[in-house]
Structure 1
Amino acid sequence: MKNVFKVLLVISFFYSACVQAHVDLVSSIPMEGSALTKAPSQITLNFSGEVRLAKVMLHMDNGKMISLDFAMSMKPDDNYTIAIKDELGAGDYTVNWVAMGGDSHKISGDFSFKVKQ
């Protein structure tokens, strides 16, 4: 019986490690590939689990960086809203983000959207 308990304990550790390692971005506002008729005033990132958001950058397709009201998070969360400081004009935009999962595993990604006039 002790051996069965030990096996179950080891399996539970491996399972919890796998679950933590698979935290990722599940949705965003604006959505990936969206074409907006009104420029957004903020970016929302929703993750599948708690992360510490380390970096968020917004830039136009010509490389121009757009100012965001963002500071690295010290407290893990699964939902972040970042204000865009400048009004966005028509054009193509990309959001790049970097976060740290609960197991200190670095995750990153990007998504793009378009503002039409």
Structure 2
Amino acid sequence: MGTTASRILCASALMAALLTSTSVLAHAHLKHQEPAADAVVTTSPKALTLNFSEGIEAKFSGLTLTGPKEMKTAIGTATVNANDNTQLVVALNQPLAAGDYRVDWHVVSVDGHKTKGQYHFSVK
């Protein structure tokens, strides 16, 4: 009987460890952004706003904006919203001209995991 109880206890401990370790392995994934991916906007946005699934580190997070003819577009400094550390905001230095744009982003979540990705939008 003692052996069965010991096995159940070990199995329970192993299961608990496996279930809790998945949260440690989490990464900050892009949930939504403004302008939205594949959006066609009629006026230039004043900023790019990216929202992630978990908190991000401002010092290690940012993005580049590539515009028409593969030209890098001047942008402001990436900041993390002081009231919501899952939100990365980058002001645009000037209105965007009509054309297609690519956002290449990279973040480090508060637990130290790096994530990167890209999306596109257009200004009409």
Q: TM-score range by the shorter chain?
A: 0.7 to 0.9
Runs of 4+ in 1 over 6 A off after TM superposition: none
| Bigger fraction of residues in strand | 1
Distance 2:18 2:121 in 1: 42
More helix by share: 2
Q: Structure 1, residues 86-111: CA drift from partner, whole Å, max 9, x if none?
A: 21111111111001123322110111
Q: Following the alignment from structure 2 to structure 1, what is the Cα–Cα distance between the partners of residues 78 and 33?
A: 18
Q: Does the 8 Å contact 1:44/1:81 carry over to 2?
A: yes
Q: Residue deviations 1:21-61, cap 9 Å, x none?
A: 3x200100000011111111100000011122522111113
Percent identical among aligned pairs is 24
Q: Equivalent residue for 2:52?
A: 47
- For 1:57 and 1:92, locate their aligned partners in 2 and report how far apart those are by CA, in whole Å: 14
- Residues 62-101 of structure 1, C-alpha deviation per residue, up to 9 Å, x if partnerless? 121111111476x992012210002111111111100112
Larger Rg: 2
The one-letter code matched in structure 2 to 1:25 is L
| Contiguous gaps of at least 5 residues in structure 2 | none
TM-score (norm 1): 0.81
* Equivalent residue, structure 1, for 2:33: 28
Q: How many residues align?
A: 113
Question: 1:3 offset after TM fit, Å?
Answer: 3.3
Work out which of the residue numbers 64, 67, 75 in structure 2 matches 1:60.
Answer: 67
Q: Structure 1: where are the runs of 5+ without partners?
A: none
Q: What amino acid sits opposite 1:57 in the alignment?
A: T
- Going from structure 1 to structure 2, the CA distance change for 1:80 and 1:55 (only over 3 Å counts) comes to closer
